[in-house]
C-alpha cells in the first residue's frame, strides 16, 4: 500500500446555490457561484495520516468528496493510485473508504449486522469473507450491540458502524470527515486510537477536522485550507519554517497561516 | 447476482418491518375492486358495445386492466420512488460509494417492487375468480407472458427516465407527471379507448400502455396467439428498443451531472 498516492492537478470546484424565487420572478437568472476549491495542486504520500485543517466552509468536505468520486471537479484531474476519479470510479471505490458524520447513511429499519451484511455484499465480499471480516472488526471496535435496530444506537456506536463499514473491503485509503464531531471525550479518544492503529497497518488516511489539538495528536502531515485555497502543506516542522518559527505550536502555525 | 439478491433482501427486510402497511395494501386492492364492481352495476351496460371485441363485461375488463396496471405502475414509479427514498433516507450516497454498477443498483431497486406488484396482481386475480366468478380459462399463456415482459421492460425504461429527472430535479418529475396524468386517461385502463373521440384515440395509439392493455385483454380473455397480437407486441418491442438505451444513457448522464453539481445527496 506504500505506493498509493493521491494526486490533484489544478482542481477547482464551485457550487451554484438554488435561484431565489425573487430572482426567477424578475427573470434574473444570473447565479453567483460559491467557490469551494480553487486551483488545488497536491501530491499526497501513502502510509501516513494527513490532517486536513480549516474552518467551516474551507473546502475540507468538498476535497474528500472529490477524492471519493462522489463529486467531480469543474476543472483539473484527480488520480488515485493512477486511477482517474472521473473515468475509473469503480476501481477507486474498491480502494477507498469514507467515514462521515452523517448518521442517516445507514438503513435505520435494519439492525447493525444486517446493514453491514448488505454493504459487505455491495463491496464485493462473499458471505464467508463478510462474516469473518465483520466479526473481526466487531472485536477490534468492541461492538456487541449488533442485533438492535440501527436507530436505537448511540451516536458513538453509529460512528463505530460507519468506521466498520468503511473498513469492510480493507481499503488502502481512508477518508475521515470530522469523525469526532458530536462524540464525547472518551469515545473521541477511542476513535483516534483506532485511526492510529489503522496507520500502523499501512493505510493512507485523510483526517478532516477543525479540531487542531486532535490533528496534532495523530497526524504526520497537515494540509491547511482556507476558502478553498491551500495555505500550507507539510509536516509541522516544515509548516513552522514557513512562518519562520521552529518552536511554534500547530495552533500558532494555523492561526498565522490563516491570518487570524 | 449476489448484489441484486442483497438489494432485494434489504428491501424485503425494510418492508417487513412495516407490518401494518402490508395488511392495508390487501384491503386497498379489495376496496378498489369493489368500487369498480359497483360502477359496473350502475353504468357497465352503457359501454358493453365498446367491449365486444374483448368478449367481457366492464367489470372483468377493468379488473384485469387494473391488475396489469400494477406492473405498469411499478415500471414507471419504482425506480424514481426508490431513488427518492434513498435520497431522503440519506443512503444513496453510501450506496453509490460502493463499487457497484449503476445498472445493478437500478435492477435491484426495481425488482422488489416488481415482486410486490405480482402480489397485488395475484390478489386482483384471486378476488376476480373466487369472489366475482370471472372466467380466465381462455387465456393464452405464451402471449400473456410476452406482452407482460415487454410491458414491464418498456415501462421500466420510462421509469428509469423518470428516475433520471429525480436525480437532477429531486421533486417535480415531469416524466412521471406526464405518464401518470395521461396514461390512465388515454391508455384504456379504466375504459376501452374506443370510447374516446377520434383525435384522442390517435394520441392513445402513440402510447405503449394502449398496446399493453389491449394485448393483455385479448391474450387473457380471448386467448389470442402471438400471431394475432403481432401489432401489440411489435409496437411494445419498438418502444423497448428505443427506450432501453435512451433511459440508461439518461440515467448515466443524470448521475454524472449530479456528481458535477455535487447534488447527489440533496433532496
- ipTM computed for the complex: 0.85
On whether residue A49 sits in a domain, the answer given is: yes
Instruction: DSSP letter for A191, please.
Output: H
Cell of A15: 457550487
Cell of A229: 485555497
What is the C-alpha to C-alpha distance for residues A218 and A250, in angstroms, rounded to an integer?
A: 12
Q: Is A50 exposed, middle or buried (0-12, 13-18, 19+ CB in 10 A)?
A: buried
Give the pLDDT of residue A2.
46
Query: Which span out of A85-94, B33-42, B199-208 was modeled with the highest average pLDDT?
Result: A85-94
Please, what is the angle between helix B174-186 and helix B141-169, to 10°?
A: 150
- Mutation pick from B20, B96, B262 vs chain A, by most beta carbons of A within 10 Å, is B262
Q: How many helices, marked H, and strands, marked E, lie in chain B?
A: 10, 0
Give the residue among A128, A118, A194 at the shortest CA–CA distance from A160.
A194
Q: Identify whether the C-beta of residue B217 lies closer than 8 Å to the C-beta of residue B55.
A: no
What are the tens digits of pLDDT across the range B40-70? 777 766 667 777 777 778 888 888 888 887 7
For chain A, the domain total comes to 1
Which of A36, A104, A109 is opposite residue B90, by nearest beta carbon? A104
On whether residue A138 sits in a domain, the answer given is: no
- The CATH number of residue A226's host domain is 3.40.50.300
B2: closest CA of chain A, how far (Å): 7
Q: Identify whether the C-beta of residue A50 lies closer than 8 Å to the C-beta of residue A220.
A: yes
What are the tens digits of pLDDT across the range A197-254? 888 888 899 999 988 988 998 999 999 999 999 999 999 999 998 888 878 888 989 8
Q: Identify whether the C-beta of residue A125 lies closer than 8 Å to the C-beta of residue A168.
A: yes
On whether residue A104 sits in a domain, the answer given is: no
Q: Does the distance separating the beta carbons of B99 and A93 come in below 8 Å?
A: yes
Query: Does A16 contact B at CB distance below 8 Å?
Result: yes
The domain spans of chain B are 2-261
What are the tens digits of pLDDT across the range A118-136? 999 999 999 999 999 999 8
What are the tens digits of pLDDT across the range A141-165? 888 777 888 989 888 888 889 989 9
Q: Does the distance separating the beta carbons of B10 and A110 come in below 8 Å?
A: yes
Which of B89, B95, B97 is opposite residue A104, by nearest beta carbon? B89
Domain that holds residue A199: 1-20+31-95+189-260
Which of B5, B13, B18 is opposite residue A114, by nearest beta carbon? B13
What is the C-alpha to C-alpha distance for residues A163 and A134, in angstroms, rounded to an integer?
A: 12
Query: Does A35 contact B at CB distance below 8 Å?
Result: no
Query: Does A170 contact B at CB distance below 8 Å?
Result: no
On whether residue A81 sits in a domain, the answer given is: yes
Amino acid at each position: 500500500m506504500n505506493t498509493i498516492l493521491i494526486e490533484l492537478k489544478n482542481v477547482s470546484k464551485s457550487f451554484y446555490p438554488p435561484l431565489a424565487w425573487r430572482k426567477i420572478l424578475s427573470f434574473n437568472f444570473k447565479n453567483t457561484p460559491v467557490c469551494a476549491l480553487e486551483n488545488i495542486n497536491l501530491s499526497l504520500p501513502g502510509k501516513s495520516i494527513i490532517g486536513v485543517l480549516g474552518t467551516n466552509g474551507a473546502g475540507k468536505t468538498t476535497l474528500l468528496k472529490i477524492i471519493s468520486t462522489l463529486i467531480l471537479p469543474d476543472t483539473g484531474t484527480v488520480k488515485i493510485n493512477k486511477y482517474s476519479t472521473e473515468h475509473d470510479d469503480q476501481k477507486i471505490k474498491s480502494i477507498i473508504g469514507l467515514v462521515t458524520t452523517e448518521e442517516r447513511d445507514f438503513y435505520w429499519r435494519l439492525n447493525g449486522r444486517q446493514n453491514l451484511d448488505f454493504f459487505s455484499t455491495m463491496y464485493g465480499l462473499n458471505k464467508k469473507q463478510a462474516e469473518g471480516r465483520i466479526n473481526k472488526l466487531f472485536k477490534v471496535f468492541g461492538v456487541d450491540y449488533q442485533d438492535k435496530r440501527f436507530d436505537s444506537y448511540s451516536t458513538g456506536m453509529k460512528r463505530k458502524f460507519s468506521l466498520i463499514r468503511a473498513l469492510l473491503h480493507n481499503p488502502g485509503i481512508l477518508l475521515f470527515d470530522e469523525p469526532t464531531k458530536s462524540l464525547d471525550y472518551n469515545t473521541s479518544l477511542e476513535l483516534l486510537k483506532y485511526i492510529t492503529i489503522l496507520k500502523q497497518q499501512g493505510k493512507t488516511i485523510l483526517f478532516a477536522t477543525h479540531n487542531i489539538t486532535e490533528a496534532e495528536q495523530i497526524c504526520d502531515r497537515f494540509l491547511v485550507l482556507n476558502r478553498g485555497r491551500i495555505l500550507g502543506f507539510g509536516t509541522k516542522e516544515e509548516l513552522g519554517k514557513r512562518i519562520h518559527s521552529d518552536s511554534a505550536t500547530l495552533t500558532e502555525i494555523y492561526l498565522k497561516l490563516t491570518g487570524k | 447476482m449476489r448484489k441484486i439478491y442483497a438489494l432485494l433482501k434489504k428491501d424485503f427486510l425494510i418492508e417487513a418491518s412495516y407490518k401494518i402497511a402490508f395488511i392495508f395494501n390487501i384491503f386497498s386492492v379489495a376496496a378498489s375492486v369493489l368500487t369498480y364492481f359497483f360502477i359496473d352495476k350502475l353504468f357497465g351496460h352503457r359501454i358493453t358495445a365498446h367491449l365486444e371485441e374483448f368478449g367481457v363485461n366492464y367489470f372483468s375488463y377493468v379488473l384485469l386492466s387494473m391488475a396489469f396496471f400494477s406492473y405498469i405502475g411499478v415500471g414507471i414509479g419504482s425506480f424514481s420512488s426508490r431513488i427518492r427514498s434513498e435520497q431522503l433516507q440519506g443512503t444513496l450516497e453510501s450506496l453509490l460509494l460502493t463499487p457497484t454498477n449503476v445498472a445493478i443498483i437500478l435492477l435491484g431497486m426495481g425488482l422488489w417492487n416488481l415482486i410486490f406488484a405480482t402480489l397485488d396482481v395475484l390478489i386482483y386475480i384471486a378476488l376476480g375468480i373466487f369472489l366475482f366468478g370471472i372466467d380466465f380459462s381462455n387465456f393464452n399463456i405464451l402471449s400473456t407472458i410476452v406482452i407482460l415482459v415487454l410491458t414491464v421492460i418498456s415501462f421500466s425504461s420510462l421509469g428509469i427516465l423518470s428516475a433520471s429527472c429525480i436525480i437532477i430535479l429531486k421533486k417535480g418529475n415531469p416524466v412521471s407527471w406526464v405518464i401518470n396524468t395521461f396514461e390512465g386517461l388515454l391508455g384504456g385502463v379504466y375504459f376501452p379507448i374506443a370510447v374516446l373521440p377520434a383525435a384522442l384515440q390517435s394520441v392513445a395509439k402513440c402510447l405503449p400502455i394502449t398496446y399493453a392493455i389491449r394485448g393483455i385483454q385479448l391474450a387473457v380473455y380471448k386467448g389470442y396467439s402471438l400471431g394475432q397480437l403481432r401489432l401489440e407486441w411489435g409496437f411494445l418491442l419498438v418502444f423497448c428498443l428505443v427506450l432501453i438505451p435512451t433511459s440508461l444513457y439518461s440515467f448515466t448522464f443524470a448521475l454524472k451531472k449530479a456528481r458535477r453539481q455535487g447534488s447527489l445527496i440533496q433532496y
